[in-house]
Amino acid sequence: MRQSELFTKTRREGPKDEVAKNAELLIRAGYIHKEMAGVYSFLPLGLRVREKIEQIIREEMNAIGGQELSLTALQDKTLWEKSGRWSDEVIDNWFKTKLKNESEVGLAVTHEEPLTNIVKGFVKSYRDLPVYAYQFQTKFRNELRAKSGILRGREFLMKDLYSFSRTEEEHQDFYKKTEEAYRKIFERAGIGDKTYFTFASGGIFSKYSHEFQTLCDSGEDTIYVDEKKGLAINKEVYDDEGLKMAGLKKADLKEKKAIEVGNIFSLGTRYSEALDLKFVDEKGKEKPVIMGSYGIGVGRLLGTIVEVLGDEKGIVWPESVAPFKVHLIHLAGSDKTKEKADEIYQGLMSAKMEVLYDDRDLRAGEKFQDSDLIGLPYRVIVSDKTLESGRLEMKVRASGETKMIGEDELKSL
Residue among 34 and 397 whose Cβ is closer to a copy of itself? 34
User: What's the CA gap between 87 and 146, in Å, rounded?
Assistant: 22
The answer to whether residue 151 forms part of the interface with a copy of itself (CB under 8 A) is no
Rg over CA atoms, the chain: 24
CA distances from 387 to 184, 333, 378 (A): 41, 11, 18
Q: Is 355 in the site for a copy of itself (CB under 8 A)?
A: no
Size of the site for a copy of itself (CB under 8 A): 53
Q: Does residue 170 interact with a copy of itself by CB under 8 A?
A: no
First-to-last alpha carbon distance for the chain, in angstroms, is: 18
193 binds a copy of itself (CB under 8 A): no
Of the candidates 262, 222, 260, 313, the one whose C-alpha atom is nearest the C-alpha of residue 21 is 313
Closest to a copy of itself by CB, 82 or 96: 96
- Kind and range of the H or E run holding 198: strand 195-201
- For the bound state, the minimum distance from the C-beta of residue 33 to a copy of itself, rounded and expressed in Å, comes to 5
d(CA 95, CA 253): 40
For a copy of itself, which is the closer residue by CB, 144 or 251? Answer: 144
φ/ψ (deg, to 5) at 142 = -80, 75
Minimum separation from the CB atom of position 7 to a copy of itself (A): 4
**Pick from 21, 85, 152, 154: which binds a copy of itself (CB under 8 A)?**
154
Stretch that binds a copy of itself, among 5-13, 168-176, 386-394, 404-412 (CB under 8 A): 5-13
Which of 19, 36, 204, 404 binds a copy of itself (CB under 8 A)? It is 36
Site for a copy of itself in 42-101 (CB under 8 A): 42-44, 46-47, 50, 65, 67-76, 95-100
* β-strand pairing of 402-405 with 378-382: unpaired
**From CA 141, how far away is CA 71, in angstroms rounded?**
16
Determine phi and psi for 351, rounding to 5 degrees. -80, 10
412: contact with a copy of itself by CB under 8 A = no
Distance CA(117)–CA(335), nearest Å, equals 66
Q: Is 155 in the site for a copy of itself (CB under 8 A)?
A: yes
Where does 205-277 have alpha helices with state H?
240-246, 270-274
Closest distance of CB 408 from a copy of itself, Å: 29
214-220-221 Cα angle (round to 5):
65
Q: Which residues pair with 265 in a beta bridge?
A: 293
* DSSP type of residue 331: P
* Closer by beta carbon to a copy of itself, 114 or else 219: 114
CA distance 379 to 254: 38
- String marking each residue 6-25 x if it binds a copy of itself according to CB under 8 A: xxxx----------------
Q: Contacting a copy of itself (CB under 8 A), which of 58, 83, 91, 142?
A: 142
Q: Name 293's bridge partners.
A: 162, 265
Based on CB atoms, which residue is closest to a copy of itself, 145 or 283? Answer: 145
Select from 26, 29, 61, 107 the one that contacts a copy of itself (CB under 8 A): 107
Least CB distance from residue 331 to a copy of itself, whole Å?
20
DSSP output for 284-306: S-EEEPEEEEEEEEHHHHHHHHH
Point out which span in 3-11, 184-192, 329-337, 405-413 binds a copy of itself (CB under 8 A).
Answer: 3-11
Give me the residues that bind a copy of itself (CB under 8 A), please: 5-9, 30, 33, 35-36, 39-44, 46-47, 50, 65, 67-76, 95-100, 105, 107, 114, 118-119, 121-123, 128, 131, 133, 138, 140, 142-144, 154-155
